[in-house]
């Protein structure tokens, strides 16, 4: 990891992670929307709570609405979703969100984003 990843402005919710969302998204060449979904799914318990989960829903809606005609890309990952969510000890629902968001960066799917929305709504109902 770089020295920039060793510091954090405003809290320590990323520094305590084995794999930070920014690093994961960058090395896997994920799009901004999916990167944000992963960031909020990873940090909601440590920082933003229900508001972060609502942001997951909003970004999934954006992914569906802004579905520009981007060609599908071959799924080649430097770090797999499984490695990411296992290293960071994410819960089952958060892990599924990470997996769907990662795959959506390579092959857009409204169904994947619908799943993200459903999973986030389940987190809201169970945890907040």
**Is 101 inside a domain boundary?**
yes
Number of domains, the chain: 1
Judge whether 6 lies within some domain. no
DSSP code, position 45? T
Residue 12 domain flag: no
Per-residue pLDDT tens digits of the chain, which is 128 residues long: 568 676 666 667 777 899 999 999 999 999 999 999 999 999 999 999 999 999 999 999 999 998 766 777 888 899 999 999 999 999 999 999 999 999 998 888 899 999 999 999 999 999 99
Q: What is the pTM of this model?
A: 0.90
Rounded Cα distance, 17 and 36, in Å = 16
Paired tokens of 115:
């799943």
Domain that includes residue 56, residue range: 19-127
Specify if 56 maps to a domain: yes
Structure tokens at 114: 């619908």
């Amino acid at each position: 990891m770089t020295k920039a990843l060793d510091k954090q402005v405003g809290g320590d919710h990323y520094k305590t992670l084995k794999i930070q969302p920014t690093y994961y998204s960058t090395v896997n060449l994920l799009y901004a929307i999916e990167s944000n979904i992963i960031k909020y799914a990873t940090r909601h318990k440590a920082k933003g709570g229900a508001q972060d989960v609502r942001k997951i829903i909003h970004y999934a809606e954006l992914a569906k609405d802004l579905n520009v005609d981007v060609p599908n890309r071959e799924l080649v990952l430097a770090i797999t979703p499984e490695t990411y969510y296992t290293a960071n000890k994410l819960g089952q629902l958060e892990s599924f969100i990470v997996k769907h968001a990662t795959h959506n960066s390579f092959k857009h799917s409204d169904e994947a984003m619908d799943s993200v929305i459903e999973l986030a709504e389940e987190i809201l109902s169970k945890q907040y």
